[in-house]
Structure 1
Amino acid sequence: MDLNGRTALITGANGGIGLATARGLVARGAQVVLGCRNLQKAEEAQAAIQNDFPEGKVEVLALDLANIMNIRSAAEVLKRRFPRLDILINNAGVMSLARKETRDGFEMTFGVNHLGTFALTQALLPLIKAAPEGRIVTLSSTLHYRGHMQWDDLHYRSRPYKGWEAYNQSKLANVLMTQALARRLKGTSASAFALHPGVVATDLARDYPAWLMKLLKAFLVTPEKGARCSIYVASEPGLAAHNGAYFESSRVKKPAAAALVEEDQERLWKLSEELTS
Structure 2
Amino acid sequence: MTAQNASWIITGPTSGIGRRTALELAAYGTVVLVGRDPVKLTVVEQQIEASGGHAVPVVADFSDIESVRRAAEEIVALDLPITGVLNNAGVFPLESRTSPQGWDLTYATNHLGPFAFTEALAPHLPDGANVVFVCSGVEDPERRPAVMAGFRGARYLSAEASARGEWKPGGASRQGLDAYATSKQGNLATVLAFAREMPRLRFNAVEPGFSPGSGLGRDAGRVLVFVSRYVLSPLAPMIKYWSTPKRAARVITDVLTADSDASGVYYDERGKPMLGSTQVRDPAFSDRVVAETRALLATIPSTR
| Alignment TM-score, normalising by the size of structure 2 | 0.83
Secondary structure in 2 aligned to 1:25?
helix
Unaligned runs of 5+ in 1: none
Query: Take 2:17 and 2:6, find their aligned partners in 1: how far apart are those partners?
Result: 20
Superposition pairs of residues 48-63 of structure 1, within 5 angstroms: 48-51=47-50, 53-54=51-52, 56-63=53-60
Q: How far has the Cα of 1:212 moved from its partner?
A: 2.7
Query: Take 1:222 and 1:195, find their aligned partners in 2: how far apart are those partners?
Result: 14
Of residues 101, 104, 120, the one that matches 1:104 is: 101
Equivalent residue, structure 2, for 1:75: 72
Contact in 1 for aligned 2:133/2:187 (Cα 8 Å): yes
Contact in 1 for aligned 2:49/2:55 (Cα 8 Å): yes
Q: How far has the Cα of 1:155 moved from its partner?
A: 3.5
Q: How far has the Cα of 1:94 moved from its partner?
A: 0.4
Contact in 2 for aligned 1:172/1:259 (Cα 8 Å): yes
Structure 2 counterpart of 1:260, which letter?
Answer: R
State whether structure 2 residue 227 is matched by structure 1 residue 206. no
Query: Take 1:156 and 1:260, find their aligned partners in 2: how far apart are those partners?
Result: 25
Higher alpha-carbon deviation: 67-76 or 147-156: 147-156
Structure 2 counterpart of 1:165, which letter?
Answer: D
Q: How far has the Cα of 1:224 moved from its partner?
A: 1.0
Equivalent residue, structure 2, for 1:38: 37
Q: How far has the Cα of 1:18 moved from its partner?
A: 1.0
After superposition, what is the alpha-carbon deviation per residue over 1:9-50, rounded to whole angstroms, capped at 9, x for unaligned? Answer: 10000121111111111123x110100100000001111222
Equivalent residue, structure 2, for 1:47: 46
Q: How far has the Cα of 1:162 moved from its partner?
A: 0.9
After superposition, what is the alpha-carbon deviation per residue over 1:200-247, rounded to whole angstroms, capped at 9, x for unaligned? Answer: 212210111333334444254431112122101111112x2x310100
Query: Take 1:73 and 1:231, find their aligned partners in 2: how far apart are those partners?
Result: 26
Contact in 1 for aligned 2:8/2:30 (Cα 8 Å): yes
Equivalent residue, structure 1, for 2:275: 254
- How many residue pairs were aligned? 268
Query: Take 2:249 and 2:197, find their aligned partners in 1: how far apart are those partners?
Result: 27
Structure 1 counterpart of 2:203, which letter?
Answer: A
Unaligned runs of 5+ in 2: 142-152, 168-172, 237-242, 299-304
Q: How far has the Cα of 1:158 moved from its partner?
A: 5.7
Query: Take 2:82 and 2:297, find their aligned partners in 1: how far apart are those partners?
Result: 22
Query: Take 1:174 and 1:266, find their aligned partners in 2: how far apart are those partners?
Result: 12
Identity %: 26
Higher alpha-carbon deviation: 63-72 or 220-229: 220-229
State whether structure 2 residue 212 is matched by structure 1 residue 197. no
Structure 2 counterpart of 1:235, which letter?
Answer: T
Query: Take 1:144 and 1:72, find their aligned partners in 2: how far apart are those partners?
Result: 27
Equivalent residue, structure 2, for 1:223: 245
Higher alpha-carbon deviation: 114-123 or 222-231: 222-231
Equivalent residue, structure 1, for 2:162: 154
Q: How far has the Cα of 1:251 moved from its partner?
A: 1.2
Structure 2 counterpart of 1:246, which letter?
Answer: Y
Query: Take 1:121 and 1:37, find their aligned partners in 2: how far apart are those partners?
Result: 17
Query: Take 1:105 and 1:143, find their aligned partners in 2: how far apart are those partners?
Result: 25
Q: Pairwise CA RMSD of aligned residues?
A: 1.9
Q: How far has the Cα of 1:2 moved from its partner?
A: 4.8
Query: Take 1:136 and 1:118, find their aligned partners in 2: how far apart are those partners?
Result: 11
Contact in 2 for aligned 1:15/1:45 (Cα 8 Å): no
